[in-house]
Amino acid sequence: MAYSLDYSPYVGVVCSRAGSKRLINKNKLKIDGKPMAIRAIDTLSNAIGSKNVYHLTDIEDFLGNSNTVKRPPMLNGDHTPLQDVVKWFIRPAYFSNALMRQEAVIIMMPTNPFLNEKEIKRAIKLYESGEFNIVRSYDSDGKENGLYIISLTFLMRHQTMGEIKDYDTYTGAIFLKGKEIHTSEEYDYARSKLG
CATH at 164: 3.90.550.10
Structural domain count of the chain: 1
Instruction: Answer whether residue 4 is part of any domain.
Output: no
Instruction: Answer whether residue 2 is part of any domain.
Output: no
Give the pLDDT score at 105.
Answer: 94
Q: Which domain holds residue 129?
A: 10-194
Instruction: Answer whether residue 41 is part of any domain.
Output: yes
User: pLDDT tens digit string along 76-135?
Assistant: 888 888 888 998 998 888 777 777 778 899 999 999 999 999 999 999 999 999 999 899
Largest CA distance in the chain: 46
**pTM given for the model:** 0.89
153 CB-near residues (< 8 Å, 6+ apart): 133
Total residues belonging to the chain: 195
144 CB burial (10 A radius; 0-12, 13-18, 19+): middle
Evaluate whether 55 touches 64 at the Cβ level (below 8 Å): no
User: pLDDT tens digit string along 149-187?
Assistant: 999 888 887 655 555 554 456 788 888 888 899 999 999
